Structure 1
């Protein structure tokens, strides 16, 4: 069909049906690498031939994807922005709850618990190790050998207790303390 003289070409007739990767990147104002990333997400419509795209369909797909992002229905990671915001808010809320519990004294730090248990263990050790001396002073007919037997029994008891506690007590790793796995 011949063009009539003096008539300007319409916009649709000026756009080529297909374009190369470089042309599409230039048309959209993005880099070749960005175009490859968008292409992996299925935004562009491929045409016959290597590295060729349907121009109008690809531009429309790119614009539709940008609209989805702007409306908050999709992000560059593929996850909806609403979901990302909700996840971020959940994390922030959990952090604030833990900080509030710490400030109000509802929770203790690992160092505080460790210090308290160390003091308690030292007190138990001192009490148990004092048994032979107290027994000897309370029961005057005990021989030095009897006192040594009591002393060894108390030490063995403490060593056995230490082994059981070491095997049963948590290591102090945060995920073991809070129950998260």
Structure 2
């Protein structure tokens, strides 16, 4: 099991995110990756084996993803699960989540937008809530948000949330069998 945590908005603090990740350390977060940008601090932790498969952080030239999950899509040799999420995001934008086959919770930062997504069945958890400074915090467990947000909600299965356009459902676009 892995875990992700982050804060998007004014006064996003890596110290707060590190504390959030520490709160969920019981998830077996042997390996940790962090990312900080203007108005964003986020981190992902994973057991060694999960990190090797691609749970954690991945970046491309336009976006970064904090990813917890297992993806079954076809991929290039050596391509990690988090990389698949970024590739699909580049191709489909916010609709990328419907093209991911598997179980996942992830946060993608692309320019000035934060996008949260959760698998259609809800196997991987994702919680989020507003911060006092007008931003949003997110994590794999609600208790990681204690002290960061006073109004924590679970991201419903099969939805995405965008800092630009709010909550929306998606329809899985699995290939025909």
Same fold, TM-score > 0.5, yes or no: no
Structure 1 or 2: larger strand share? 2
Structure 1 or 2: larger helix share? 1
Please indicate the TM-score interval, normalised by the length of the shorter structure. under 0.3
Larger RCO, structures 1/2 (Cα 8 Å, 6+ apart): 2
Q: TM-score, normalised by structure 2?
A: 0.22
